[in-house]
Structure 1
Amino acid sequence: MISTSTSAFFERTTQGMNTLRARAEALQEQIGGGERLARSSDDPVAASRLRQLSRADDLSSIDRANADRASADLKLADGALSSLADHVIRAKELAIQAGNATLTAQQRSAIGDELEQIHGQLFALANSRDSSGHALFGGEAAGAAYALDAGGNASYIGTATAGEMPIGDGQTVTRGLTGPEVLEFDVAGMPTDLMAFVKDLAGALKGAVADPAQYARDALGGLDAGLEKVTTGQTIVGTRLAWIDLAAERRVEMSELRASEQADIGGTDIATTVARLQETMLVLEASQASFARLSSLSLFDAIR
């Protein structure tokens, strides 16, 4: 019986000290890692909420990547539109020159040559590529947005709309503009596009019409309409970029709120945890001292 009692005493004391050591180690891990929960079973409700916050962070990362891509494509579109506007302005300057009745046919033909070069530059810009190497103004098309036929006339071969990208909180943004949205406009109620208009003007100045000077003067209104369409596209792009920036600010705010909640739920309260560790270590040291003293006693000490 004495043997059994002694064995039980040693076992209970050892288990108690092991429990204290494990608690101290857990508290030290919380202090070192900054995390209060080592496993879900420590606090199932808190662990579930932390998983929800983690999933929200993952979705936010996807939204941020989408927003970055849309922003990059829109900035490329803005740059291309600026170049388009510059070329239209130059075409208008040339039309004004060609409308001067004092110019010779050869001089107007030279202006027509430069307008043909502008037509080629407009075609190249219309086939600009986005951040993924796809057609910038081709909507969802992977290849070119425009193609030239045997007569050198450009035709749109992209899709009807540009793709939309989710940017968070259920919001989306259209990542670009299609060619028709930028280049097509009406002149005297007749639909045309910028490349065809400039090509026709170049041909007229090279002798395709009877009165090229008057044709050049009449073309100024169409060039103004084309320029207005391009600048409208720039405004749309600028608005979408501002929307992406606003969504990014909102995403950062929500990320900060989630980080704060994660710290509140799963983070370690250093002051409280250090105090609990000191208390645990004190109890452990006292237990060890008591055990060492009691285990050294024997029956002979008791009967002396």
Structure 2
Amino acid sequence: MINLSTSAYFERATRQMGDLRSRANKMQEQISTGDRLTRSSDDPVAAARLRTLSRTQTLSDIDKTNSDRAAADLKLADSALSSVAEIITRAKELTIQAANGIYGETERATIGMELENLQKSLLLVMNGENSAGHALFGGQTSGDSYELQGGSYAYVGTAQTTPLDLGEGQDVIPGVTGPEVLEFEVNGSTTDLFAVLGNLAAVLQDSSQDGTSAANAALDSLDAGLQKVTTAQTVIGARMNWVDLMDTRRIEASELNADEKATVGGADIAETTARLQEMLTVLEASQASFVRLANLSLFNMI
């Protein structure tokens, strides 16, 4: 004869229903979060893989931050270079006028004043700031790219710009330095746009000098300067395209990462919902059975 223990029955039934409720709660959590794993012990191998995927995504987010900064700085540089090209174009128009022998001293002096103003405008552009508030064309320096020294403008930045990591072992230089934009060679001699504009402006405003000859001589320098700026624009454009390419590759990798995370640790909502409904049905039946059995006269008599 089997001896029944009321306390043992209640303990066993309570434990079984508690287990059912716990499993049902876990399924409800999976449905609400979309995650199959609530703790590493659910599936240690899958949990380890999910941690690796999370670290990969974190690194990708860092690369995205660098990429966004590089893109912003390159766009700023591209816009600034367009302004420099406009300054050179206007300077060339004025120089052609000054080279025309029909202009008198007053007209050439006026042209010289405008060239002087163009030089000041060039300084403002070249001392612009990048997205971090540092010198746009100053390399690694945080201050201005150019300063007035001894009556002429001198480059005070560094020789190189710090590259930014884009991921996959790739990087990009988010700009160009001042000399890469303004320095060029004419007839075997190195000069820069500041000197060309400043020297021509001074000659045209000095009636004792031959402004017409100086203007004719400056045209070659302005052409060389415009070519240097165009080259810098090409470099910036290529780097912008490289950033875009790396962005596309990173987005594709992130999508694959997300898909794998969903496969490894994601819950099948439809399947989990069906299992939850089944579990709730079992739990409800167990509770009803417990209530009926608990009220049997046999239990009342024991």
In 1: Cα distance, 2:14 partner to 2:83 partner? 81
In 2: Cα distance, 1:39 partner to 1:301 partner? 43
Q: Which residue of 2 aligns with 1:181?
A: 180
Q: Deviations over 1:42-90 (max 9, x none)?
A: 1111111111111222222211111111111111111111111011011
Give the secondary structure class of the aligned counterpart of 2:166. Answer: strand
The one-letter code of the counterpart of 2:142 is: A
Give the secondary structure class of the aligned counterpart of 2:175. Answer: coil
1:195 lines up with 2:194 in the alignment: yes
TM-score w.r.t. length of structure 2? 0.93
In 1: Cα distance, 2:300 partner to 2:12 partner? 23
The one-letter code of the counterpart of 1:201 is: L
Q: In 2 relative to 1, CA 86–301 (structure 1 residues): closer, same or farther, beyond 3 Å?
A: closer
Percent pairwise identity:
55
The one-letter code of the counterpart of 1:204 is: V
Q: In 2 relative to 1, CA 203–2 (structure 1 residues): closer, same or farther, beyond 3 Å?
A: same
Instruction: Give 1:282 deviation, angstroms.
Output: 2.7
Give the secondary structure class of the aligned counterpart of 1:207. Answer: coil
In 2: Cα distance, 1:128 partner to 1:296 partner? 86
In 2: Cα distance, 1:301 partner to 1:120 partner? 103
In 2: Cα distance, 1:194 partner to 1:35 partner? 62
Q: Which residue of 1 aligns with 2:156?
A: 157
**168-177 or 225-234: which moved more?**
168-177
Q: Which residue of 1 aligns with 2:20?
A: 20
Give the secondary structure class of the aligned counterpart of 1:166. Answer: strand
TM-score w.r.t. length of structure 1? 0.93
Instruction: Give 1:287 deviation, angstroms.
Output: 2.4
In 2: Cα distance, 1:62 partner to 1:143 partner? 26
Q: Which residue of 1 aligns with 2:165?
A: 166
In 2: Cα distance, 1:13 partner to 1:102 partner? 112
Q: Deviations over 1:184-231 (max 9, x none)?
A: 000101000111111111122223874321221121111000000011
Q: Report if the CA contact (8 A) 1:183-1:226 is conserved.
A: yes
Q: Which residue of 1 aligns with 2:259?
A: 260
Q: Which residue of 1 aligns with 2:94?
A: 94
The one-letter code of the counterpart of 1:103 is: Y
In 2: Cα distance, 1:92 partner to 1:300 partner? 109
Q: Report if the CA contact (8 A) 2:78-2:233 is conserved.
A: yes
Q: Structure 1 regions of 5+ residues with no counterpart?
A: none
1:65 lines up with 2:65 in the alignment: yes
In 1: Cα distance, 2:276 partner to 2:9 partner? 26
Q: Which residue of 2 aligns with 1:82?
A: 82
Q: Report if the CA contact (8 A) 1:163-1:176 is conserved.
A: no
In 1: Cα distance, 2:293 partner to 2:52 partner? 51
Q: Which residue of 1 aligns with 2:39?
A: 39
Q: Report if the CA contact (8 A) 2:105-2:207 is conserved.
A: no
In 1: Cα distance, 2:130 partner to 2:120 partner? 19
Equivalenced residue count is 301
Q: Which residue of 1 aligns with 2:8?
A: 8
Q: Structure 2 regions of 5+ residues with no counterpart?
A: none
**95-104 or 274-283: which moved more?**
274-283
In 2: Cα distance, 1:244 partner to 1:192 partner? 32
Give the secondary structure class of the aligned counterpart of 2:204. Answer: helix
Give the secondary structure class of the aligned counterpart of 2:288. Answer: helix
Instruction: Give 1:30 deviation, angstroms.
Output: 1.2
